Amino acid sequence: MLLAEVVAASTAVTAARGRTAKAGLIAEALRRADAGELPAVTAWLSGEPLQRRLGVGWRSLASLTGGAATDSTLTVATVDATFEELAGTAGPGSSGRREMLLRDVLARASTEEQRFLVRLITGELRQGALEGVVLEAVATASGVPAADVRRAFMLSGSLPATAATALAGGAEALAAVRLQVGRPVRPMLASPGSSLDAALTALGSEVTVEFKLDGARIQVHRDGDDVRVWTRTLREVTGGVPELVERVRALPCRTVVLDGETLALDDDGRPRAFQDTMSRFGSTTTGEEPADAGGLLSPFFFDLLHLDGRDLLDEPLHVRLDALAALLADDAHAPLRTPGVRRPDADQAAQVLEDALDGGHEGVVVKDLTAPYAAGRRGKAWQKVKPVHTLDLVVLGAEWGYGRRAGKLSNIHLGARDPDGGEPVMVGKTFKGMTDELLDWQTRTFPGHAREETPWGVLLEPGLVVEIAVDGAQRSPRYPGGVALRFARVLRYRPDKTPAEADTLEAVRALLAGAP
């Protein structure tokens, strides 16, 4: 398969309107790829190299483009082999070796292919083909039910591998994909609930109400003495959290997969700033480590996906919680279980919410006790309830401030995720809630993400996610989505989330007065 065919498909996907049209175009490209090419083609049409990190930046590429080939002769296999070599190049002389590899492949690329490769390598390939769209394409190309494809993807954690399995072996091969200790599962997600009463009404009496901790999501796997820890984006952080490893290694089991949160606590047992927790994972809001970033992390687990050879994903939540309670029963001196109450009445549920807020946490999560673990899905079985509405939105741009904020990038433009895979849709602006430290960070950081610089500020590539508190939303013809945020203010940036995990335009519209 020629690279030019992938570039043509990418261009068509970018121009297509709507999720179904994009998925159909990707499906056509997947059918044309042979078995060896399919993983790379799938990865490229979802916007990233198969090897993820190639050790190449904009500066290296800028000096190597130009002098394009007149004919399209590059194949997918050739480019993927070059990427593989780039990813494995390290040590003395590696910079020169990378430059030679890049110069060779770019010299053989047409102008359109050069543009595609540069955007692919630097993470700037915006086709509107999010994971969900590519999964639909895999289902269409293979003739397998979308639910089977989604489940295999969530258990394998690899979109290219799922595509290869689906097109080679169909539904039978996908059904053979199982949870594997040591390979992270994509986490089940909670939907925003409008209120505690509404969540209880929607889910009924068979629920548990648990603290919504102000920490970082973790998934921990143990196989004998080998313990590994991943974040919600499936980035491994084992080496940076030895205290979590030791706590799980001490549990009375041989194999286990735990889902939960971890956070740094102060001397009174209250959560420290979110960035203090995130600093342990090598990322903070400001890019600078707090002076006491070495504080210990405390784990709190709320789900159990596997225990001593038994997979529990498809068991109802009450079964998983019983097994979790038994596993953690001996840790009363330093509880590992997320606080909560099963089958509470209205007063008990309200007390859990009050206790969570009094403890400095975000709110509660109401969970259906009869639901299986739907990995990677943001369904209605889990609903998070906070005292104020919060949204995770994409930063689309920022304006230069004036007065006290003169010379600083201040008023940020906010976008909600387009569920059809298009560019984020602008829903408002805000400069509220920003500290001087955050303004300085934005001014330093945003130019590196700039899509375009203007006299009034910068337009950004959609890469940064910020958590915003709002009082609600209102209808507005000013923005393309027909809705605008009310009294938005910045809570924090979310380095643990990608734009693909931002809240959708539908989530913003759900805040409209009178919305169902």
Structure confidence at residue 286 (pLDDT): 39
Catalytic residue chosen out of the listed positions 212, 408, 429, 497: 212
**Is residue 292's pLDDT more than 60?**
no
124 is in an annotated binding site: no
Give 71's pLDDT tier (boundaries 50, 70, 90).
Answer: confident
Neighbours of 402 (CB within 10 A): 11
Tokens linked to 4: 């030019």
Is 378 annotated to bind a ligand? Reply is: yes
pLDDT of residue 58: 61
Q: What are the strands, taking DSSP E only, across 133-204?
A: 189-192
> Which pLDDT tens digit goes with each residue over 98-125?
888 888 999 899 999 998 998 888 877 7
pLDDT at 285: 41
Contact 349, 200 (CB under 8 A): yes
Q: Is 281 annotated as a binding residue?
A: no
Please tell me the predicted confidence (pLDDT) of residue 515. Answer: 54
Residue 6 has pLDDT above 90, yes or no: yes
- pLDDT recorded at residue 274: 74
> Domains in the chain, start-ordered, CATH in brackets?
3-175 (1.10.3260.10), 189-385 (3.30.470.30), 389-509 (2.40.50.140)
The answer to whether residue 380 is catalytic is no
Nearest Cα to Cα of residue 260 among 279, 241, 285, 239 = 241
Tell me the pLDDT tens digit for each residue of 120-151: 888 777 776 678 899 999 999 999 999 999 99
Is 31 annotated as ligand-binding? no
List, for residues 371-392, the tens digit of each pLDDT value. Answer: 999 876 677 899 999 877 899 9
pLDDT for the residue numbered 87 = 85
Higher per-residue confidence, 60 vs 268: 268
Tell me, what's the pLDDT at 81?
A: 94
CA distance 42 to 166: 12
The structure tokens 């940036």 sit at 493
Contact 132, 421 (CB under 8 A): yes
Helix (H/G/I), strand (E/B), else coil: 305:
strand
**CA-CA distance, 49 to 52, in Å (whole number)?**
5
pTM higher than 0.85 for the full model? no
> Given a cut of 60, is residue 421 above it in pLDDT?
yes
Would you state the pLDDT for residue 279? 77
pLDDT over 70 percentage in the chain: 93
β-strand pairing of 189-192 with 378-385: parallel
Average pLDDT for 227-239: 92
Position 429 pLDDT exceeds 70? yes
Residue type, 102: L
